[in-house]
Amino acid sequence: MANCIIAQSGGPTSVINSSVVGLIHANKDIKAFNKVYAGLNGIEGILNGNIVDLSSFSDSEINTFRYTPSSGLGSCRYKMKKLEESTEEYDKLLDILKANDIKAFFYVGGNDSMDTIAKLGKYAKKTGIDIKFIGIPKTIDNDLMFTDHTPGFGSAAKFIATTALETYLDSSVYINNGIFILETMGRDTGWLAASACMARINGQPIADFIYLPEVAFNIEDFLLDVKERFEKNNKVFIVVSEGIRNAEGTFITEVKSQAHDKFGHAQLGGVGSYLKNLIINSGITNRVKSLELGVLQRCAIHCASDLDLQEAFDVGYSALKFALEGNSGYMVAIKRESSFPYKASHILIEADKIANNVKYFPKDLINEKGNHIKEEALEYFLPLISGTPSLVLDNHLPKFKAISK
């Protein structure tokens, strides 16, 4: 009986390991493969021979692994060369897979990972190699096309909305309050920042303004809005995506940051501080605080959505079944059947349709002034944050497990 392998790539999420466990459980139920291997640190690790047998870990360890945030198999941001440029690393990878009698390769990741799946599926088909390549969706950014949402997003959204509520209350305790700015991730899209629209007290949204990359950011309009609201309420609560851009399409923070990752994406962050300085320098008030949520958005399992954790498990489970049906070069996508009650199913989408495309937050769910989210967006967001997972505990703290050699 042949084997399969699974690996993780790109930025972590709080529920990414649940997809690995879903695949393991599917194999136990279906008994399709002799062994489920894990590639440590994604494609890059596999090319270096970093492969472990997941069956060597106990059921208890695997269960703890399911409730462990971040990429428990390690990750990478490794971009394979175009097939037209060189097939050397493709040949090396396929040789490693064949040497381990691997007939199915599963990659848990986002946009760039699906690019890898598309390339490998194409090359395997071209060379007549019988290995199936299936992508399993993951990204807190929720920016993959053709899937209703991505595992990892629901938990990040829940954390953002919860933190918005908590920081709003903290920033509203004085007679003379100030302005609070909450900065979320979201390089190209505003899904994460928009999720703060769920944060409500007495049925009313606590955020005065929410700014997304989908709408051009105008400094003059921003300062006028903030000044008017501050003079009226003596406090302002702002949520902003790190990726907001000006009318020319330039990232607000990219002007002062030249750092890029291996895929050429600008390394952002610090827009909250930038807006804070704008407000202070304009003379509105000196009482301004900004909080950059940073990596907490993708590793806060203590504030995860149980539905998100289960869906991550389910797409991993379905991936193995789809591979057994002979599919290759596809990503498992989530199709929403209804919101209340929430119901979804899984479909296959060609990985090359996902790769290098971006699903933007719908502009028809942004208000006319471009500084808040419409009420209709709640129907999309709310089902995705339901439930609280029962974590594995040790000495009253979460117990975690990462996989290593």
Query: What is the chain's pLDDT, residue by residue, as a tens digit (405 residues)?
Result: 899 999 999 999 999 999 999 999 999 999 999 999 999 999 999 999 999 999 899 999 999 999 999 999 999 998 888 888 899 999 999 999 999 999 999 999 999 999 999 999 999 999 999 999 999 999 999 999 999 999 999 999 999 999 999 999 999 999 999 999 999 999 999 999 999 999 999 999 999 999 999 999 999 999 999 999 999 999 999 999 999 999 999 988 875 444 444 444 444 458 999 999 999 999 999 999 999 999 999 999 999 999 999 999 999 999 999 999 999 999 999 999 999 999 999 999 999 999 989 999 999 999 999 999 999 999 999 999 999 999 999 999 999 999 987
3-state secondary structure of 331: strand
Task: Select from 3.40.50.2300, 3.40.50.300, 3.30.565.10, 3.40.50.450 the CATH code of 3-151+301-357+388-398.
Answer: 3.40.50.450
Q: How many CB atoms lie within 10 A of CB 91?
A: 13
Check 115, 141, 188, 208 and give the catalytic one: 141
Structure tokens at 170: 């903290």
Q: 141 an active-site residue?
A: yes
**Closest by alpha carbon to 192, among 237, 226, 243, 230?**
243
Please, are residues 250 and 231 in contact by the beta-carbon 8 Å criterion?
no
Starting at the earlier edge strand, list the strands of the sheet with 343-350: 51-53, 36-39, 3-8, 102-109, 132-137, 330-338, 343-350
For residues 288 and 311, give the distance between their C-alpha atoms in angstroms, rounded to a whole number. 39
C-alpha count within 13 angstroms, C-beta hemisphere, residue 101: 8
Integer angstrom CA distances of residue 155 from 219, 224, 366: 31, 34, 22
Do 3-151+301-357+388-398 and 153-299 fold alike per CATH?
A: yes
Which are the contacts of 400, defined by CB distance < 8 A and separation ≥ 6? 64, 67, 68, 69
For residues 130 and 54, give the distance between their C-alpha atoms in angstroms, rounded to a whole number. 23
For domain 153-299, the CATH architecture is 3-Layer(aba) Sandwich (3.40)
Please, are residues 334 and 346 in contact by the beta-carbon 8 Å criterion?
yes
Please, are residues 88 and 119 in contact by the beta-carbon 8 Å criterion?
no
Give the phi and the psi of residue 99 in degrees, each rounded to 5: -65, -25
Q: How many CB atoms lie within 10 A of CB 376?
A: 10
Cβ contacts of 376-382, under 8 Å, gap ≥ 24 = 377/194, 377/197, 378/197, 378/198, 379/339, 379/340, 380/339, 381/157, 381/194, 381/195, 381/197, 381/198, 382/198, 382/339
For residues 314 and 311, give the distance between their C-alpha atoms in angstroms, rounded to a whole number. 5
Query: Domain extents for the chain?
Result: 3-151+301-357+388-398, 153-299
